[in-house]
Structure 1
Amino acid sequence: MNILISNDDGIMSPGIITLKEYLSRKHNVYVVAPDIERSATGHAITVRNPLWAKEVKFGDIFFGHAVNGTPADCVKIGLDAIYKNVKFDVVVSGINKGANLGTDILYSGTVSAALEGAINGYPSLAVSCVEYVNPNFEDGAKIVLDLLENLNFKDWPEFTTLNVNIPKISYDEIKGIKVTKQSKRRYEDYFEERKDPFGNSYYWMLGNIIEDDDDPNSDYNIISQGYVSVTPLSVFMTRYDFMDELKKQLEV
């Protein structure tokens, strides 16, 4: 298969380097990723400034293109410009350092890069290792190979991404793969105020994770049991179950 990969941790991150190494053993892999880390940029795109795409080599070996834009920019320019003559089969974003669970998907550049692939009509995967300090990227790459081996991309639903999260255990210890729902996992944010040398206030945003979703099929609950969590996401977010009630309130 022809696979476009990107991420939000930057083109020099170990996650994307490991992912390309493993996927290249069986597939044709093309890399277009941010030139620096651009985590938590969501689905931002660049519309008022030019984008530069520079070739990145490790020694004499070509690795991919680094772009001075967001993860979504990278997928856009990869599909529509840099590799416009390549017929891609799938877009893979990652492997991210740290989880993308619950409301993380709204902020995540990793997930947004995959969703950009879905917007453009390609099957896509966003892949994250939940361990932040010492991510098991090689185990994650093995899981991606397993997924690519088993997924049927011919009957892929339109505008769909899989959000894949890998528990912090070894590949041999992983119990299997479970299809999950997005949980209500979210953050209780607070800001720490500090003063600069001139007496002006500045703030660091901090937060506590709230995990109060009692659905055993929610993403973080499945992860805690030692399974890989795979959550199907759509580009579109209409709340259909609220439409009838909303019509009663507004369509008078």
Structure 2
Amino acid sequence: MFKPVEDLSTARILVSNDDGITAPGIKILERVARSISKDVWVVAPETEQSAVAHSLTIRRPLRIRRVSRRRYAVDGTPTDSVLLAINHLLKDKKPHLVLSGVNRGGNLGEDVTYSGTVAAAMEATLLGVPAIAFSQMLSPGQAVKWDTAEYFAADIIRRVTAVGWAKNVLINVNFPDLHHEQVTGIEVVRQGRRKLGDELMERQDPRGEPYVWIGAQRAEDRGQEGTDLEAVHRGAISVTPLCTDLTSRRTMQELEKVFP
């Protein structure tokens, strides 16, 4: 079990993301972290790495650029960033907590398998550090309601880290597309179902060559109560524990009958 963080004010906190070191969401999360602790480090991708999932760079060397005091950019993925932070930059004193985000856009349902934001938290979990991923829902063509994440994140961090959880679990938090005063509450819910890539757009480039663009359209199931999708679309903040162990225990039992 990850033990509760008894005193966040003295905890070392690592902040990362998948939108890149200059993204507005990571600046918000850094401010939130600094309101909790004085020992805050930021190690994030040099450029946007959305939907890279849990990719690890192994075919080329990685470069680390010092941006400012306790702030570093990595020319790799979110997984690379967290790995280098914990096992290289902070190896003499590893972080007590990793915060990933705040992502520009939700990470709900099956999104979590593609998400670099969730992957950064997953990498920390695999390295033995408790982690929380944060994402902010948005509407196309409208300003992102960053005030919601900034208003609620610190309280969520304090309340979540006050309890321990299993060492193969990370916490996934999604803020609804509402300003903070409109949020209906904070709910612990399970992962829903939402699949990216149902809309494929076939076009031709200026040279007449065909290409296919994966669209943003998703098939969603918002009607299932108790899921992250249903909660955020009802105006609540969703808190979902995700397990890094993907084993299906039920299927194991069935296969054991076939392979006694």
TM-score, L = length of structure 1: 0.91
Partner of 2:44 in structure 1? 33
Partner of 1:51 in structure 2? 62
Give how far 1:43 is off: 0.3
Q: Take 2:163 and 2:226, find their aligned partners in 1: how far apart are those partners?
A: 27
Q: Take 2:154 and 2:13, find their aligned partners in 1: how far apart are those partners?
A: 12
> Contact (CA 8 Å) 1:23, 1:141: kept in 2 or not?
no
> Contact (CA 8 Å) 1:33, 1:65: kept in 2 or not?
yes
Q: Take 1:212 and 1:148, find their aligned partners in 2: how far apart are those partners?
A: 28
Distance 1:198 1:172, change over 3 A: closer
Q: Does 1:110 align with 2:117?
A: yes
What is the identity percentage for the equivalent residue pairs of Structure 1 and Structure 2?
36
Q: Does 1:11 align with 2:21?
A: yes
> Contact (CA 8 Å) 2:231, 2:238: kept in 1 or not?
yes
Query: Which stretch shows the higher mean deviation, 100-109 or 135-144?
Result: 135-144
> Contact (CA 8 Å) 1:122, 1:159: kept in 2 or not?
no
Distance 1:225 1:195, change over 3 A: closer
Partner of 1:251 in structure 2? 259
| Structure 2 SS opposite 1:244 | helix
> Higher strand share goes to which structure?
1
Per-residue CA deviation, residues 162-210 of structure 1 (Å, 9 max, x unaligned), is: 1100012222222221101000122352332222344322221115221
How do 1:112-191 residues align onto structure 2 when only pairs under 5 Å count?
112-131=119-138, 133-152=142-161, 155-191=164-200
> Contact (CA 8 Å) 2:86, 2:94: kept in 1 or not?
no
Q: Take 2:222 and 2:176, find their aligned partners in 1: how far apart are those partners?
A: 18
Q: Does 1:218 align with 2:227?
A: yes
> Contact (CA 8 Å) 2:131, 2:171: kept in 1 or not?
yes
> Contact (CA 8 Å) 1:181, 1:217: kept in 2 or not?
yes
Q: Take 2:151 and 2:91, find their aligned partners in 1: how far apart are those partners?
A: 28
Give how far 1:13 is off: 0.4
Query: What is the letter of the counterpart of residue 40 of structure 2?
Result: V
Q: Does 1:234 align with 2:240?
A: no
Report the aligned-residue RMSD. 1.8
Query: What is the letter of the counterpart of residue 35 of structure 2?
Result: R
> Contact (CA 8 Å) 1:19, 1:137: kept in 2 or not?
no
Q: Does 1:78 align with 2:85?
A: yes
Distance 1:92 1:152, change over 3 A: closer
Distance 1:154 1:180, change over 3 A: closer
Query: What is the letter of the counterpart of residue 251 of structure 1?
Result: F
Question: Aligned pairs, how many?
Answer: 247
Q: Which runs of 5+ in 2 are unaligned?
A: 1-10
TM-score, L = length of structure 2: 0.89
